[in-house]
Structure 1
Amino acid sequence: MTRPGGAAAPIWAVLAIIAAAIVAHASYTADLSAFLPRSPTATQQLLIEQLRSGPAARLLLLAIEGGSGAERSQVSAELARRLRADPAFVAVNNGDAAGLERDREFLFAHRYQLSESVTPERFSAAGLRAAITDSLDLLASPAGTLLKPLFTRDPTGEILGILDTLGAGRLPRAAEGVWSSPDGRHALLMAQVRAAGSDTDAQQAACDTVRRAFASSLGAIPAAARPSVTLLMTGPPVFAVASRALIKGQVMRLSALAALLVAVLLLTVYRSLAALALTLVPVASGALAGVAAVALGFPAVHGITLGFGITLIGEAVDYSIYFFVQQAADWQHSVWPTIRLGMLTSICGLAALLPSAFPGLAQLGLYSVTGLVAAALVTRFVLPAWLPRELAIRDLSGLGARLAGALPHLRRTRIALVPVALLAGAALYAHRGTLSHRELSALSPIPAATQALDEELRIEAGAPDMRYVIVASARDRESALAAAERLAAPLETLVEQGAIGGFESAARYLPPLAVQRARQASLPPPTEIGARLREALSGAPVSASRLEPFVLDVERARSAPPLTRADLEGTSFAAAVDALLVRSADGWSALLPLVALGSGDLEPGAVAQVRAALAGEPRVHTVLLDLKAEADRLYSSYLTEAARLALAGLGAIVLLLVLALRSPGRVARVVAPLALAVLAVAGVLVALGGRLTILHLVGMLLIVAVGSNYALFFDRSSEPPGRASLPLTLASLLVANIATVLTFAVLACSRVPVLAELGSTVAPGTLLALVFSAQLSRPQRPAAPAAAAAAALVSAP
């Protein structure tokens, strides 16, 4: 075999060093960014902002279980104290007096600016009489405990109205002075992380802080009780951290296992450590080049893309196997052209993913195309330069001869492909209504038990699921607050009608300036408040002189400066306003999450009522965002685009084969086994109860990409005998297929659904592609006499 020039190896070394430097300095992520569009619509942008930095994305739910109620309460109080002192958290609530004291002080001090009841009518003589009478009635009941010490300063009960508006009744039940689950097993806490939900490093640091604080908080109870008290933690930050750790761990472990299995296989086949080492060079080169290309083309490399690197082992190693097993057959002239065409078909198929609007698909396409090109070029130009002259590997001619002898028998079973196609098609047709999984949850690597715990703690804590959010857009912060305030009246009507359970609004904690001024203007001046109060209390069991503190508070409130965001510092309301009032590229948005009645979702009728109420406020630009439906719709479009791109890739492959083979019959023999393999795998997956996801589609594209090599080699084997050996070709195909199936079988065992779906599709699919290619292959045509004589002369010693 003629060795190429010596320039290939130095060029490879330089490029490898550059690629390694790029990979070392690249950014890596495992968040949802891979599944979010690069150019989102306005509604999609709202969804993305909520997923990345919305209040729900930063909420931690904590539960302390074990021990006695008193011990859980002590640990809860200590844990809350430690977390409140940490700047990583903007709010920590557990229902204890220490956490509520600052909030209550703030609400009481600013009650006349915050209360929706403050109107001129309420502070007329008649209005004061009605409000004070209601308060006196309340004092006579068991519910008057909270109002009694405040009556002389707040006889109209503004603080009670504010607390009722803020949903105090929807808080978790209290036991031993802290929030508790209904069954009393858990002491509950809610913590809002300061960092954005997309900052996984910060989320992990926050979760670690909680665990350390809990371990320290156990010191508040006797040592004997500490082992029985444990911490449960859930919420989007926990999911994000767990997902990244799971993907990273699975990628590392499965990559190592796949590489080990392939190495053992090749060492068994080659019986040469040198050949094994050289075989892995194209694989490593392709993976390095692929990651470097993605790092250069995208802000961050996603963990799923790295997981996809395992798949590169399956196809890239094939090139080396063909090289070593068939090198005696004038590899560069008789084998390389077939490999080159197979590589081009793979590129045509996978390059169709590059224009995807979703970074996840585009990354997979760029990684695969770059990696395969690099692996093929290294096999073609670098391996021959490094090949030891006396390299001896195991002779596979005997295995090849047995395979060649079995090939005619296998061809006679091709009639069985007809029922295979019919059965697979019938299975797909029978499940056509549920063929694909169009919910974003299909991509979640979070175990069902963890999701169940999250749902349980949310119900116990009364935390809203934040599915429905009204987004009111405005040009500036004050206008957004005003928009939220205008929506309060129609939404309160829906609450009274029982359509919704409630809603949140930043305007409740920080009313617009105009509203604050109007409420202050509703308060009587000092010269009038006394006279109105005396008239209101005529014949009442309480005298006006006893309510002098009330008169003084009204005077102070009337001239007080307006509330600002700075006044909320130190309260839990600061975090609420920051979460519900967000700045966007086009201005500001006020978020109004809706709360359903009970623990379920809003009924369709209630959603229609909300939309009608919003339509009745034409001055406010609003969108009712259904986070789950919008996320599912986004994923559905992702799936649709993947199917469209996969079909485009298949079309490009067929076009390439038509141009290269220039024979409709040969093209059909190459395409038919690949189409049958894809059809059979899809039919089996659906028949077994599965639903196709985005990675199943990518896997089917890989079946075609990998299987095209097999089909092309069988197409070449039907040509008259030349320098290539049919037995060696068959032996190399079998070894390459085993390596590919091993690689993807390992991937199918992954606990990350997207990786497992890819492996469970490609492993059986590539095996079937090989078998079907053999069944549909044509017998080798005899050589023409002149060609046979020439071949004999060439092979003569």
Structure 2
Amino acid sequence: MTMTPSPRPPRRALVLVLWLLALLAGIAVIARSHFSTDLSAFLPASPDARQQVLIEQLQSGVASRTLFIGIDGADGATRSTISREMGRQLRAGGLFDQVQNGDHSDWKDAGEWVFAHRYQLSPAVRPEHFTPEGLRNGILDTLSLLGTPAGNALRPLLERDPTGEAARIAEGLIPATAPRTEGGVWVARERERAVLLASTRAEGGDLDAQERAIAAIHSAFAQAQRQAGDKAGTARLLLSGTAVFSVQSRASIEKEAIHLAVVGAIVMSLILLAAFASGRALVVALLPVATGVVGGTAAVSLWFGNVHGLTLAFGSTLIGETVDYAIYYLIQARQVGAQGEPGTGWRHWLRVHWPTVRLGLLTSVVGFAALVFSGFPGLAQLGVFSIAGLVVAALATRFVLPSLAPDGATGQGLRRHLARATGVIVRTLPRLAWPFAALGVAALVLVLWQGNHLWRAGLASMSPVPKAAQELDAQLRADIGASEAATLVVAFGGTVEQALQHAEAASLRLDALVNEGKLLGYDSVTRFLPSQRTQAQRMAALPTAEELRARLPEATAGLPLAADRLAPFVEAVQAARGLAPITHEEVRAGTLGPIAGALLFERPGGGWAAMLSLHTPPDFRHATVADALAGLPEVVVVEVGEALADVYQRYLHEAFVQVGLGALAVVLLLAAWLRSARRLFAVCLPLVVAVLLTLGGMALLGMALSILHLVGLLLVVAVGSNYALFFDELQRTGHADEDTLASLLLANLTTVVSFTLIAISKIPALSAIGQVVAPGALLALLLSAAFAGGWRGRRGLAG
């Protein structure tokens, strides 16, 4: 007795088990993955010196760890009470290395340390400062301050510090743009608002830690508000800073990704359910989509060690293409002809249609492969995600779907209507081939005329931070008097000592700008941690006790401060001569340690960097500082806006090159496969015109295009190549069965709908991709039908 071979795919159980194991492994990788949202992922992996400074600051610099806090509402006394209590709680919580709100009760130790080391820290300590004339000038300056508000603090120190070194150091440490003090805490200069500034211990890139710090601020405010009584009920907490933006962006991207996935799945399910009239077919159709998203995310995590939020959200865009594979199979694998044996539809699909789907997949992979080698990690992640997701989805379609639905989706649903609609399209549109071609030429002229102006959107266009949040951030920075963030000045060195010496050299030139009124001031670690060389010079300038006693009578002649009252001063100078040099380790271990850590830090690649934070007047010009510091070794001046613009232009140029190389690779692949110049032209023409018409439409609408619009164009080619190849197959065989026509229209419908949902997303980066792919994919189908008119009169399309 002979046994009839099973019509089902061989090794069905093995295929399903392997697929489930792979899916579970991918989910396990994703569960342990680290997700980030900072835009530094879209900065170059091999930056120049200026870009490296920018990247370091975005990833771990003080700017990435600083939070700006405001308290609005209630009355002034209540706001002050809340501010003091919040400051106390946040300092005790351990999540912040510094919390400043004008309450100096915790700075007593720092003040005593500065006073004890005043002769090592004061920039006035030079040999001429201790001549009779220099001493007299210093004493006169100190006496003149006794009648000011600071006089009460200076009077007890007069006999020990008559030359005012402590006052001079304090003046340098207090920012020129510091907020005013009211009720013992900081308040905004132009608003009824208490303000605080806090720096987290965790790096800016540790978003989980930043989220905990932000939650601690909200908790501290709520508790302080309760303790302040009934009057505090109207108080309102304001919070901003880079960390706030990053955490909010992550939450926004995650929320939007889930929203898009849910809405997209519902809409897609309704379309597929109507098309297949089968719940089972619907579930089977979504399996390659889920497999592709899991595979793409896991591949990025394994390759890069983290997954950017935009990459994860980009997964929703794969629904538009990966579901096409399932649609092609479920519709095209139905039993063909009267001789068809039940359970063999998958064999027919593998023999007739799989080669075309496989070629479409290869063109997509080749196109996206160019992004993998990008010098921008974010762009490389999109490339890896796309390739892995598409390949995994295609493999699931090729091996898993035949095991679950050997004859595809046997229910009719709307397929017959879809086939008829497609038949009308393919019989009608070829008459418009020349008008479409003319429109393509016109679009090309418009795009070339617009040139670079068309691609004028910047790196910030990918940020999901709303305008209102940016305006609040600017307000709080101004209220607190934060240093000017648009210009970065950094001194480098292989050691701490070298970095400090280079920072001191920069400080001398910045001092000149302050004296000229071109700068209000600046912050530098060298104010409380001078280089060893500078400390040695200052110690060498201190006179002996005998020399100082001999000079004081002449210096104090005729002054209300007699020389015989200054014995404590002589003793202090003598004691200072025996002090050990201040070291980096000593400062880091003290109260000033957090400030030192913010301004002096070890670089990720080795060496040290000292940051000089500028306080600028309203008419400040970046070129003023750049020109003043020009020529100094190991000192870099970065204009953040200009640096970001340079990075983005490099980013855009590289992306154009890579997309161009990807397009060339696709053409070469098609040429090798089709082996016909005519067929190659027929496949490529609708894709080229679809891209041109999409760009032309955006140019007419005045849209500013970004790098992600360019990625969207690559997706148009990836999706559209499937349509063009199927029409090429129909033209070659001359047979257009209902199932193939229905699968093309349904696949296009799901793609356009999914990308339309993405186009209205609140995340600008996703919206940019959807704005391109939704119209581009529709045009790709219509143009493929229009330019494939050479076979419309053949059999299969006569009616």
2:343 aligned partner = none
Of 165, 169, 179, the residue aligned with 1:158 is: 165
Contact in 1 for aligned 2:332/2:743 (Cα 8 Å): yes
Q: Give distance in 1, aligned partners of 2:23 and 2:85.
A: 54
Counterpart secondary structure, 1:412 = helix
Gaps of 5+ in 2: 1-5, 337-347
1:773 aligned partner = 784
Matches within 5 A, 1:73-472: 73-140=80-147, 144-222=151-229, 224-328=230-334, 329=336, 330-387=348-405, 392-394=410-412, 396-437=415-456, 439-472=458-491
Of 755, 768, 782, the residue aligned with 2:766 is: 755
Q: Give distance in 2, aligned partners of 1:4 and 1:228.
A: 70
- Please, what TM-score do these two structures have when normalized by structure 1? 0.92
Counterpart secondary structure, 1:92 = strand
Q: Give distance in 1, aligned partners of 2:391 and 2:76.
A: 64
Counterpart secondary structure, 1:690 = coil
Q: Give distance in 2, aligned partners of 1:277 and 1:661.
A: 35
Contact in 2 for aligned 1:295/1:301 (Cα 8 Å): yes
Q: Give distance in 1, aligned partners of 2:88 and 2:149.
A: 31
Counterpart secondary structure, 2:374 = coil
- Tell me the amino acid that sits aligned with residue 310 of structure 2: I
1:558 aligned partner = 577
User: 2:48 aligned with 1:46, yes or no?
Assistant: no
1:634 aligned partner = 647
Cα 1:44–1:402 change in 2 (3 A) is closer
Q: Give distance in 1, aligned partners of 2:606 and 2:398.
A: 56
Q: Give distance in 1, aligned partners of 2:176 and 2:489.
A: 23
Contact in 2 for aligned 1:468/1:593 (Cα 8 Å): no
2:737 aligned partner = 726
2:3 aligned partner = none
User: 2:656 aligned with 1:643, yes or no?
Assistant: yes
Q: Give distance in 1, aligned partners of 2:59 and 2:760.
A: 30
2:30 aligned partner = 23
User: 2:497 aligned with 1:493, yes or no?
Assistant: no
Contact in 2 for aligned 1:38/1:357 (Cα 8 Å): yes
Q: 1:158 Cα deviation (Å)?
A: 1.4
Counterpart secondary structure, 1:467 = strand
Q: Give distance in 2, aligned partners of 1:15 and 1:27.
A: 20
Q: 1:567 Cα deviation (Å)?
A: 4.3
Contact in 2 for aligned 1:69/1:184 (Cα 8 Å): no
Of 578, 581, 603, the residue aligned with 1:584 is: 603
User: 2:720 aligned with 1:707, yes or no?
Assistant: yes
Counterpart secondary structure, 1:445 = coil
Cα 1:122–1:430 change in 2 (3 A) is same
Counterpart secondary structure, 1:152 = coil
Q: 1:527 Cα deviation (Å)?
A: 2.4
Q: Give distance in 2, aligned partners of 1:696 and 1:781.
A: 34
Cα 1:570–1:147 change in 2 (3 A) is farther
User: 2:664 aligned with 1:657, yes or no?
Assistant: no
Q: 1:538 Cα deviation (Å)?
A: 2.0
Cα 1:721–1:590 change in 2 (3 A) is closer
Contact in 2 for aligned 1:60/1:235 (Cα 8 Å): yes
Contact in 1 for aligned 2:402/2:408 (Cα 8 Å): no
Cα 1:755–1:436 change in 2 (3 A) is same
Q: 1:151 Cα deviation (Å)?
A: 2.0
Q: Give distance in 2, aligned partners of 1:756 and 1:171.
A: 41
Report sequence identity in percent. 41
Q: 1:555 Cα deviation (Å)?
A: 2.7
Farther-moved stretch of structure 1 (39-48 vs 304-313): 39-48
- Tell me the amino acid that sits aligned with residue 299 of structure 1: G
2:344 aligned partner = none
Q: 1:13 Cα deviation (Å)?
A: 2.9
- Tell me the amino acid that sits aligned with residue 685 of structure 1: M
Cα 1:385–1:107 change in 2 (3 A) is same
Counterpart secondary structure, 1:750 = coil
- Tell me the amino acid that sits aligned with residue 405 of structure 2: L
Counterpart secondary structure, 1:61 = strand
Farther-moved stretch of structure 1 (94-103 vs 243-252): 94-103
Counterpart secondary structure, 1:85 = helix
Contact in 2 for aligned 1:669/1:776 (Cα 8 Å): yes
Q: Give distance in 2, aligned partners of 1:771 and 1:781.
A: 14
Q: 1:762 Cα deviation (Å)?
A: 0.7
Instruction: Give the aligned length.
Output: 776
1:795 aligned partner = none
Matches within 5 A, 1:58-77: 58-77=65-84
> Residues 174-206 of structure 1, C-alpha deviation per residue, up to 9 Å, x if partnerless?
222211112232101111111111111111111
Farther-moved stretch of structure 1 (295-304 vs 234-243): 295-304
Q: 1:208 Cα deviation (Å)?
A: 1.0
Farther-moved stretch of structure 1 (435-444 vs 274-283): 435-444
User: 2:10 aligned with 1:5, yes or no?
Assistant: yes
Q: 1:334 Cα deviation (Å)?
A: 1.9
1:676 aligned partner = 689
Counterpart secondary structure, 1:64 = strand
> Residues 344-389 of structure 1, C-alpha deviation per residue, up to 9 Å, x if partnerless?
1111111221211222222221221122122222212221122266
> Residues 429-456 of structure 1, C-alpha deviation per residue, up to 9 Å, x if partnerless?
4432422136321221110110111111
Q: Give distance in 2, aligned partners of 1:220 and 1:125.
A: 57
Q: Give distance in 2, aligned partners of 1:493 and 1:234.
A: 34
Q: Give distance in 2, aligned partners of 1:412 and 1:397.
A: 24
Contact in 1 for aligned 2:214/2:244 (Cα 8 Å): yes
Counterpart secondary structure, 2:636 = strand
**Aligned-residue RMSD, C-alpha:** 2.4
